Amino acid sequence: MASLVGFLGDFDLAEEAAQEAFAIAAERWPERGVPDNPAGWLIATARNRAIDRIRRQRTLEAKTRLLDVPEVTVDEIDDAVIGDERLELIFTCCHPALAMEAQVALTLRALGGLTTEEIARAFILSEETMKRRLSRAKAKIKATGIPFAVPADHLLPDRVDAVLAVIYLIYNEGYSGRIDLAAEAIRLGQLLAELMPDEPEVHGLLALMLIHHARHRARFARSELVLLEEQDRSLWDMKALAKGREALDRAIALYGGGPYVLQAAIASLQAEDEIDWDEVAQLYCRLEALTGSPVVELNRAVAIAQAGELAAALDIVERLDLDDYQYLHSTRAGLLQRLGRGEEARASYERALKLATSEPERRFLQRRIAEL
Amino acid sequence: MKYALLIYSKPGSHEALPEDEYKEVFGEYAALVDDSRCIASGQLQPVETATTVRVQDGRTLTTDGPFADTKEVFGGYYVFEADNLDEAIELAGRIPAARLGGAVEVRPVVEH
In A84-207, which ranges are E strands? 175-176, 179-180
Residues of chain A in contact with residue B108, where contact means CB-CB under 8 angstroms, are: 143-145
CB contact under 8 A, A145 and B108: yes
According to the model, what pLDDT value does residue B52 have? 96
Q: How far apart are CA A237 and CA A56, in angstroms?
A: 54
Residue B36 CB-half CA count within 13 A = 0
Residues of A in contact with B106 (CB under 8 A): 144
CA distance A286 to chain B (A): 28
Distance from the Cα of residue A134 to its chain's centroid: 18
* Contact between chains at B108 and A144 (C-beta distance less than 8 A): yes
Q: Where is mean pLDDT largest: A19-33, A49-63, A96-110, A163-177?
A: A96-110
Contacts of B82 in chain A (CB under 8 A): 145
Instruction: Give the chain A residue nearest B90 (alpha carbons).
Output: A155
Does an H or E element contain B80, and which?
strand B73-81
CB nearest to A151's CB, from B86, B107, B108: B86
Q: Among partner residues B83, B85, B90, which is closest to A144 by beta-carbon distance?
A: B85
pLDDT tens-digit map of A159-189: 999 999 999 999 988 766 567 899 999 999 9
The confidence score (pLDDT) of residue A226 equals 66
Q: Model confidence at A69, in pLDDT bands (50, 70, 90)?
A: very low
CA pair distance A187, A192, nearest whole angstrom: 9
Q: Tell me which chain B residue has its CA closest to the CA of residue A98.
A: B85
pLDDT for A265 equals 97
> What is B2-108's CATH number, 3.40.50.720, 3.40.50.20, 3.30.70.1060, 3.20.20.70?
3.30.70.1060
Q: Would you state the pLDDT for residue A309?
A: 93
- Return the pLDDT at A221: 63
Residue of A nearest to B84 (CA): A145
CB-based burial, B62-81: b 16+ in 10 Å, e otherwise: eeeebeeeeebbbbbbbbbe
Residue A143 forms contact with B (CB below 8 Å): yes
Better pLDDT: A171 or A85: A171
Domain segments of chain B as ranges = 2-108
Asked if B85's CB is within 8 angstroms of A145's CB, the reply is yes
> B82 to chain A nearest CA, in Å?
9
Query: Model-level pTM?
Result: 0.78
pLDDT for A148: 92
Query: A155 and B86: CB-CB below 8 Å?
Result: yes
Q: Which residue has the higher pLDDT, A357 or A133?
A: A133
CA distance A155 to chain B (A): 10
**How many A×B Cβ pairs under 8 Å?**
28
Question: Tens digits of per-residue pLDDT, B58-79?
Answer: 999 999 999 988 899 999 999 9
Nearest CA of chain B to the CA of A161: how many Å?
16
In terms of pLDDT, which residue wins out, B6 or B71? B6
DSSP B8-43: EE-TTTTTTS-HHHHHHHHHHHHHHHHSTTEEEEEE
Yes or no, beta carbons of A145 and B1 under 8 Å apart: yes
Closest alpha carbon within chain A to B107:
A144
Instruction: Tell me the pLDDT band of A76, cut-offs 50, 70 and 90.
Output: very low
Distance, in angstroms, between B24 CA and closest chain A CA? 24
- Which residues in A lie closer than 8 A to residue B86 (C-beta atoms)? 146-147, 149, 151-152, 155
Q: Which residue of chain B is at minimal alpha-carbon distance from A96?
A: B86
User: Which residue does chain A place closest to B108, by CA atoms?
Assistant: A144
pLDDT digits over A262-315, tens only? 999 999 999 998 999 999 999 999 999 999 999 999 999 999 999 999 999 999
**A219 or A206, higher pLDDT:** A206
| Smallest Cα distance from B95 to chain A, Å | 17
Contact B84 A151 (CB under 8 A): no
Taking an 8 Å cut-off on Cβ atoms, the answer to whether A143 and B86 are in contact is no
Q: Determine which helix (DSSP H) or strand (DSSP E) holds B59, and give its type and residue range.
A: strand B59-64
CA–CA distance, A11 with A61 (Å, rounded to integer)? 16
> Closest chain A residue to B83 measured between Cα atoms?
A145
Backbone angles phi, psi at A200, to 5 degrees: -60, -40
Q: B84 contacts in A (CB within 8 Å)?
A: 145-147, 149
Nearest C-alpha of chain A: how many angstroms from B23?
A: 28
CB A246 within 8 A of CB A264: no
B30 HSE (CA, 13 A, CB side): 6
Average pLDDT score over chain A: 84
Q: Which of A61, A144, A150, A156 to mutate to test the interface with B (most CBs of B within 10 A)?
A: A144
* Selected residue with higher pLDDT from B106 and A357: B106
